[in-house]
Structure 1
Amino acid sequence: MFLNVSMSRSKIQKEPAQLNAQRGSTLMVAIFIIIVFSMLLASIVNMFSSTTESVSVEVYGVRALMAANTGVDAVAASIFPVGQAGSLSCDELEIPANQDGVDNQSTLTSNATFSTIAGLVGCRYTATCTDFTVNDGVQDIHFYKITSQGQCDAGSFDVSRVVEVEARAL
């Protein structure tokens, strides 16, 4: 029994020496954990910011597509007026068109912005109309090709979409 007491005293005397040798290891583990969590936090922040930017590009892409569709609709409505028989050629459009020297092609450029449509502010379109006639052996068939490019400015980036429609005169 006395022997055990002396052994336990020697263990007690050795423990403070071992604790002195291990004092810096807790600090090293704490610094390691802080660095790992900082890197994890930085990657999560980076992931969220790239997700936000991709959602913004997608939203402005849909707006640019709607602007391009508006250009196609404007030209198509002028070529095929409601309540009139037949259709017009691209050169006869009732809309202000810029002749750019290409035969049978007219270019319609919208206002710089859609100021009255809240979802399309900062967007614009450029539409072109090309028409041609094909003879199928029996009659002449008149065709139209309408191309419209919608663009939206989103500050740090621009997004554009192109819509192309082909139509046949009745």
Structure 2
Amino acid sequence: MSCSGVRAFRHQRGSALIVAIFVIVVMSAMAAAMLRVSGSSQDMTTREVLSTRAWFTAHSANDYMMSRLFAVEPANQASCASLDGESFALPGGLGCSAVQSCQETLSPEAGAPTTYLLISTARCGSGPHAVTRIQELWAKELVNE
């Protein structure tokens, strides 16, 4: 090997170092982007699960109010005023609760059925992952003729 060949080899070693640093920087940037996408995906999944839980909690709260308003046994029947503002929580420690609202609308016609507007506002999660869902339900008494 000649002396000029050794000099050329030494110059190439410096360029290989620059290429290696460039590859490391590019791979680090790609890894950081992948971590950001992964974190965003986990956050979205958490919100989706909590949103579904809140929706079902609000639905269950409305079902509970319906069962109290239109109880099979008259002794177990509740008035709309007694249900208004009542809290509802699902058992099992899911971390969800609902606040119930009941509004009674009397018809101006004599003998017409009473109409109820049931609203449940459910909340699941805490902090930045808190999710709220609201469900409204209209119900009407049956009139025996």
TM-score (normalizing by structure 2) = 0.82
Give 1:88 shift: 6.6
The runs of 4+ residues in structure 1 deviating greater than 4 Å are none
Query: Aligned-pair RMSD on alpha carbons?
Result: 2.4
How many residues are aligned here? Answer: 140
Counterparts of 2:72 and 2:111 in 1: how far apart (Å)? Answer: 24
Counterparts of 2:40 and 2:78 in 1: how far apart (Å)? Answer: 48
Counterparts of 2:11 and 2:98 in 1: how far apart (Å)? Answer: 74
Counterparts of 1:134 and 1:148 in 2: how far apart (Å)? Answer: 23
Give 1:156 shift: 4.7
Structure 1 residue ranges without an equivalent (≥5): 1-8, 98-105
Structure 2 match to 1:167: 139
1:79-137 CA-partner distances (Å, limit 9, x unpaired): 111255xx87513x5xxx4xxxxxxxx22223xx54x425x2x111101000102346x
Which residue of 72, 76, 89 maps to 1:82? 72
- The code of the aligned residue for 1:82 comes to V
Contact 2:96–2:125, Cα closer than 8 Å, also in 1 = yes
Structure 2 residue ranges without an equivalent (≥5): none
Counterparts of 2:72 and 2:78 in 1: how far apart (Å)? Answer: 12
Which residue of 74, 97, 104 maps to 1:131? 104
1:16-54 CA-partner distances (Å, limit 9, x unpaired): 232222221000000000000011011111111111111
TM-score (normalizing by structure 1) = 0.71
Q: Name the % identity.
A: 26
Contact 2:118–2:136, Cα closer than 8 Å, also in 1 = yes
- The code of the aligned residue for 2:135 comes to V
Say whether residues 1:41 and 2:16 are aligned partners.
no
Larger radius of gyration: 1
